[in-house]
Amino acid sequence: EREYGFKCGSVRQNRHETARAAVMSVRREMTRSGLFLFLLCALPGALAATEKSVGSKEEYYSATVNATVLDSRGNPKRLISKDDGRYGQNSPKVEAKGIVLTPVAINGVVDMQGCCPYTRFVIPPKTTHWVALVQRGKCTFKEKILKAAAFNASAVLIYNNSSKEDTVTMAHEGTGDTVAVMITEAFGKEILIPLERNETVLVSVMVGQRGPAKNINRGSLVFVSISFIVLMIISSAWLIFYFIQKIRDTSTRDRSQRRLGDAAKKAISKLTTRTVKRGDKETGPDFNHCAVCIEGYQLNDVVCILPCKHVFHKMCVDPWLNEHCTCPMCKLNILKALGILPNLPCVDNVAFDMDRVSRSQSSSQRGALVDLSESVSLEPLRLSGSTQLPSDSDLTSRTDINIAVTKEWFIVASFGVLSALTLCYMIIRATNHTSPYTE
């Protein structure tokens, strides 16, 4: 029982050492991935700082546009519609009012985009304020506005060229104090209908509310896509390298285990075995248990004697030695004791050499044991009513098992979650950030 207690204490100590080694392994893995995780976490902060620097450009001003058809006397005839437009980035945010004019036909062709070098507007006599109506496309917003400003237009309405797109913030630096407003394609065509019937349309533009940009910036999306692809490539390469290393380590461990198994079989063949006969000590009342199966020795049982002089049933100890190559009682490394692969550690990594066993026998804790060098030890494990052997679950620390199972998945899960959060953040910031359109 004292020997078994010594064994249990050794196993507990080994389990704790294994758990500590597993914790250190996790720390090493987390240190390797520290730079990657730091970059992944720091990226949103860097993007946020960039967004703050351009925050003033993310705002726009809406414009309320009213269109009214006038009769021949200049009195309101009917209200066409009222719609919300958007002031250009470089446009004065002021009210404007005037009759609507479109580019006149040149050689029978009407350039509604106002991009032709010969584009002109015919202004009725006694007209002081008028508003140009042109379509988006073919040239920049700046060119359209400058063409209308050359004819002293009070404002320029640019209607979209696609019904699927909303109004955008136009960039037209260098257009002076000419008011520029973008409206939808539907509203622009609605104003064109009475103009094509030679009716007069009066438009008034009023300043609306200031609001954040909602348009998707294509450049930002490209940046987001490229950044995420680069991030994924770097991260995937790191994960591939990590798992390749794990596979190599596993292969090396498997080769070592196969080598250890072959060496264990060779060592088992060199062990002393004999058959229990009548009158042997094994059949006596004091030697009635095998430490592996806790069964007594019977006549004709084949027993195996290990180098440490512990005796077991051969059929009991052979499977154990094939797997652990150590004595079940004292953890002696039989490969080292027999001179077979003395530098190869056993699977359970709890090898006790002969000198350590001798020192343990001479200690006060082992003073009552029989001298192993003088006789074959067949000391049984006695069970009393008040003493119970610890169960295997009591000897096995669950910490090392949990860490071994979760340390790889912790890294993979951290990578996946942080990558997903970073991608979502970048997409949200890209969709909320607008860059002024030039055409």
Q: What is the pLDDT of residues 152-196, one digit of tens each?
A: 999 999 999 887 778 888 989 899 899 999 999 999 999 999 998
Average pLDDT over every residue of 109-115: 88
CA distance 349 to 211: 69
User: What radius of gyration, in Å, describes the C-alpha atoms of the chain?
Assistant: 45
CB contact at 8 A, 327 and 304? no
Q: Given CATH 3.50.30.30, say whether it is the number of domain 60-215.
A: yes
The identity of residue 312, as a single letter, is F
Q: Which of 1-5, 98-102, 267-271, 372-376 has the lowest mean pLDDT?
A: 372-376
Average pLDDT of the residues in 264-282: 83
Least reliable range by pLDDT among 73-82, 264-273, 401-410? 401-410
- Give pLDDT tens digits for 368-381: 333 333 333 333 33
Region label for 95, one of left (φ > 0), alpha (ψ between -120 and 50) or beta (otherwise): beta
DSSP-derived 3-state class of residue 240: helix
> What is the reported pLDDT for 230?
82
CA distance 197 to 105: 15
Q: What is the pTM of this model?
A: 0.44
Task: Give residue limits of the domains in the chain.
Answer: 2-32+220-402, 60-215
Query: Any idea which fold 2-32+220-402 has?
Result: Herpes Virus-1 (3.30.40)
Neighbour tally for 140: CB within 10 Å = 15
Which one-letter DSSP state was computed for residue 414?
H
DSSP H stretches of helix in 33-137:
34-53
Rounded mean pLDDT, 275-294: 78
What digits encode the pLDDT tens for the residues 8-47? 444 445 555 555 655 555 455 545 555 454 554 555 554 4
Q: Give the pLDDT band (50/70/90) at residue 49.
A: very low
Angle at 58 between CA 53 and CA 60, to 5 degrees: 145
Report the chain's mean pLDDT, rounded to a whole number: 73
What is the residue type of 384? S
